[in-house]
């Protein structure tokens, strides 16, 4: 989508702050005091908040002042705490926000896995907390700004995160987040590299969490779930109840001819109708999870593209999809679109 002429804009807003902005701030109060945030907004009314010190994840997403993401009972800005606490459920004490990255060697329920392939006599097994460790890692910020030099003016932010321990996994996540100045669109590009010297288990899940008012009784599920899942969602729409029990189900990511899968939610009663859609490569994220947590005070829908999890016995040498050999890289890419129309071309 072509935007306004930049020279014309500069004549009326010298540094474009009237149109778009990205700035690094720090919280000054509460349990997250001192934690860094990148605040981004573009000329279409799209705003996102990146939590630099919690996995470089997107902690909030708004469009035209409307909240699209999810806020948990723990409150925004809560720092990551001991993930091993409470039998591996420590993440629940800080879990919050629109996008939470799970991995890089595990996601799902807490567990214990074999560690003999790390060749360290004192480590026979390795503990894996709920949804892994990467979302608790502070990022090394590599840069941010507004790029006006290319054909598509954009806001950009880049960071590196390392999940590592002695005599076990040494994994690096590099992330770039972009927002075109004149489109309600976010692009996320990730690469995960085994920078260690031993083969390392790799699994990742992207926990995209949607909340009220996008999530409500009239919300419609869209994307690669299949007609049966979409119909079942419509038959039992989101309703907040004190005794509601969360559910989670996995589906295959159904790709289009270009190899992309889609997942989204549409609320026809917000304004003129508000839709959020996520597009991603089904080749690297072959499964799509649907999380429904309608308990009062929680009230969330999670769209969760994921890599699939292998058992420890599944490792059979180089080329195994669920392990990374030394120096091996796995890449993931997303487009997140917001609007009144089905801009990603998938219903």
Confidence (pLDDT) at 291: 97
Most confident of 33-37, 77-81, 337-341: 33-37
Q: 121-130, 148-157, 181-190, 221-230: which has the highest mean pLDDT?
A: 181-190
347 has pLDDT over 50: no
Compute the average pLDDT of residues 94-103.
Answer: 96
Which range among 7-11, 17-21, 143-147, 265-269 shows the weakest confidence by mean pLDDT? 7-11
Q: Give the per-residue pLDDT at 256.
A: 92
Burial 92-127 (b: 16+ CB within 10 A, else e): ebbbbbbbbbbbbbbbbebeeeebeebeeeeeeebe
The pLDDT value recorded for residue 317 is 57
**How sure is the predictor about 346, in pLDDT bands with cuts at 50, 70 and 90?**
very low
Which pLDDT band, with edges at 50, 70 and 90, does 298 fall under? very high
- pLDDT, mean of residues 137-147: 96
Evaluate if residue 335 carries a pLDDT over 60: yes
How confident is the model at residue 312, as a pLDDT? Answer: 67
- Which pTM does this prediction carry? 0.94
Write down the pLDDT at residue 13: 77
Of residues 345 and 60, more confidently modeled: 60
Question: What DSSP letter does each residue of 61-124 carry, written as one string?
Answer: EEETTEE-B---TT-TTPPP--TTHHHHTGGGGT--SSEEEEBSB--SS-EEEE-GGG--TT-S
pLDDT for the residue numbered 344: 44
pLDDT confidence of 82, banded at 50, 70, 90? confident
Higher pLDDT, 186 or 123: 186
| pLDDT value at residue 316 | 59
Mean predicted confidence (pLDDT) in 220-234 = 91
Boundaries of every domain in the chain: 20-339
Task: End-to-end CA distance of the chain: give it in Å, rounded.
Answer: 21
The closest of 121, 110, 111, 129 to 167, measured between CA atoms, is 121
The CATH number for 20-339, chosen from 2.160.10.10, 2.30.110.10, 2.70.98.10, 1.10.287.3240, is: 2.70.98.10
Over 60: is that where the pLDDT of 19 sits?
Answer: yes
Tokens (6 digits) for 311: 């058992």
User: 64-68, 180-184, 340-344: which range is least confident on average?
Assistant: 340-344
Q: Is 124 left (phi over 0), alpha (psi -120 to 50) or beta?
A: alpha
């Amino acid at each position: 989508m072509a935007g306004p002429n930049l020279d014309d804009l500069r004549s009326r807003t010298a540094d474009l702050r009237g149109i778009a902005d990205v700035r690094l701030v720090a919280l000054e109060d509460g349990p997250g005091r001192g934690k860094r945030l990148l605040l981004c907004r573009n000329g279409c009314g799209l705003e996102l908040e990146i939590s630099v010190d919690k996995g470089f994840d997107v902690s909030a997403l708004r469009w035209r002042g409307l909240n699209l993401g999810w806020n948990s009972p723990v409150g925004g800005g809560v720092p990551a705490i001991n993930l091993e606490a409470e039998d591996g459920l420590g993440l629940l004490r800080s879990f919050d926000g629109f996008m939470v990255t799970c991995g890089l060697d595990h996601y799902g329920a807490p567990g214990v896995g074999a560690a003999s392939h790390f060749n360290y006599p004192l480590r026979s097994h390795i503990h894996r907390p709920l949804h892994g460790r990467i979302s608790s890692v502070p990022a090394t910020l590599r840069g941010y700004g507004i790029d006006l030099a290319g054909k598509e003016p954009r806001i950009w932010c880049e960071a590196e995160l390392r999940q590592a321990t002695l005599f076990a996994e040494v994994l690096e996540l590099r992330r770039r987040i972009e927002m075109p100045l004149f489109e309600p669109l976010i692009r996320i590009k990730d690469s995960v590299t085994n920078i260690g010297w031993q083969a390392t288990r790799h699994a990742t899940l992207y926990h995209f969490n949607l909340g009220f008012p996008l999530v409500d009784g009239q919300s419609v599920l869209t994307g690669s779930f299949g007609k049966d899942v979409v119909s079942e969602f419509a038959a039992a729409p989101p309703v907040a109840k004190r005794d509601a029990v969360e559910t989670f189900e996995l589906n295959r990511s159904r790709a289009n001819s270009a190899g992309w899968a889609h997942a989204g939610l549409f609320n026809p009663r917000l304004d003129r109708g508000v839709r959020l859609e996520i597009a991603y490569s089904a080749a690297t994220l072959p499964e799509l999870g649907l999380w429904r947590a309608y308990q009062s005070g929680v009230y969330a829908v999670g769209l969760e593209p994921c890599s699939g999890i292998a058992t420890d016995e599944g490792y059979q040498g180089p080329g195994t999809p669920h392990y990374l050999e030394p120096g091996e890289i796995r890449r993931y890419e997303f487009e997140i679109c917001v609007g009144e129309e089905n801009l990603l071309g998938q219903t």
